[in-house]
Structure 1
Amino acid sequence: MSNKPPKELLVDGPIPPEKLATSVANHQSKTSIGAHSIFLGQVRADEVDGQRVAAIEFTAYDDMANAVYTEIREEAFAKYELTCAHVYHSTGLIAVGELCFYVFTSSPRRKAAMEACEYFVEQIKARVPLFGKEIFEDQGHQWKTNTGG
């Protein structure tokens, strides 16, 4: 496990694209890192029963979500040779095209960085109590079901 305390998973609102550049820039001085792997989740304009998604409103049980995320983070650091990991998932109303999920893993080697990044994505989607309500252009809505992939 990292020497630093885990950060909270949840952030209010969309994740700004500039966060990617800032993360890379902040890690340039860490010369033991040989690879980064990045996953960015973005809200799609899906069509559901003839209606187009305009946004997703994400909600979570904050304390439970952060507790499960902490477990996942500890598992990832035990399983992979990671230097660091930064993971955020949005809450609130996120419009089509905006980023809602950000995973940035760093390791001395590319394989560990890539595998850990995928591990974070899959475990968070499967285990963290996050809920998405798809908001349609016509103002109707439905609760989103994660379908994987």
Structure 2
Amino acid sequence: MKQIFQHGPISPSFISESIAKHATKTEIGAHNIFLGQVRADLIDGKEVVAIAYTAYEEMALEKMHNIREEIFDKYALTCMHVHHSLGVVKTGEICLFVFTSSQHRKAAIEACTEVVERIKIELPIWGKELFDDQKYQWKINQ
């Protein structure tokens, strides 16, 4: 099973390096990328300053493996990469990076969209929204 978790935010340099590695894969004609960024939401007059992510890692990795297999069966993908943060990610930082590649754009776009939706619904990953007043609430995925 592929590891999808990393501690802290996903850096722009990691994202650009991931994209650059695909330049030699000349059978690829399309990439689709989703970047999830922590928002500075205002909730009941309090501003979110970060999200602390936790997960039931073993179960999440197993579920992600199954999702990956199903997506490759459904779409003509060349490759798919998923990276999700654990720990504290501040507002403005990237917490989710999904990158799909295929010969043609439709498969890359549709697969990426489905993977993101399934991650949000099916993986046991939780976010605790941290506020500027040192309080928190558990995030509801939307």
Question: Is the CA contact 1:9–1:65 (under 8 Å) kept in the aligned structure 2?
Answer: no
Task: Give the CA deviation at 1:9.
Answer: 1.7
Q: C-alpha separation between the residues in 2 aligned to 1:69 and 1:48?
A: 31
- The answer for the alignment partner of 1:81 in structure 2 is 76
Question: Is the CA contact 1:41–1:100 (under 8 Å) kept in the aligned structure 2?
Answer: yes
Question: Is the CA contact 1:82–1:107 (under 8 Å) kept in the aligned structure 2?
Answer: yes
Q: C-alpha separation between the residues in 1 aligned to 2:65 and 2:83?
A: 12
- The answer for the alignment partner of 2:58 in structure 1 is 63
Name the SS for the 1:83 alignment partner: strand
Task: Give the total of aligned pairs.
Answer: 142
Name the SS for the 1:58 alignment partner: strand
- The answer for the alignment partner of 1:43 in structure 2 is 38
1:112-145 residue CA offsets vs partner (Å, 9 max, x unmatched): 0000100110000000000000000010100000
Normalised to the residue count of structure 1, the TM-score between the two structures is 0.93
- The answer for the alignment partner of 1:16 in structure 2 is 11
- The answer for the alignment partner of 2:120 in structure 1 is 125
Q: C-alpha separation between the residues in 2 aligned to 1:112 and 1:19?
A: 24
State the AA in 2 paired with 1:24: I
Q: How does 1:107-146 map to 2 (within 5 A)?
A: 107-146=102-141
How big is the alpha-carbon RMSD for the aligned residues of Structure 1 and Structure 2? Answer: 0.7
Question: Is the CA contact 1:59–1:132 (under 8 Å) kept in the aligned structure 2?
Answer: yes
- The answer for the alignment partner of 2:91 in structure 1 is 96
Q: Does 1:106 align with 2:101?
A: yes
Task: Give the CA deviation at 1:20.
Answer: 2.1
State the AA in 2 paired with 1:10: F
1:36-73 residue CA offsets vs partner (Å, 9 max, x unmatched): 00000000000111100000000000100101110110
Q: C-alpha separation between the residues in 1 aligned to 2:27 and 2:19?
A: 14
Q: C-alpha separation between the residues in 1 aligned to 2:53 and 2:22?
A: 29
Question: Is the CA contact 1:56–1:134 (under 8 Å) kept in the aligned structure 2?
Answer: yes
Task: Give the CA deviation at 1:34.
Answer: 0.3
- Percentage of pairs with the same residue: 55
Q: C-alpha separation between the residues in 1 aligned to 2:107 and 2:80?
A: 12
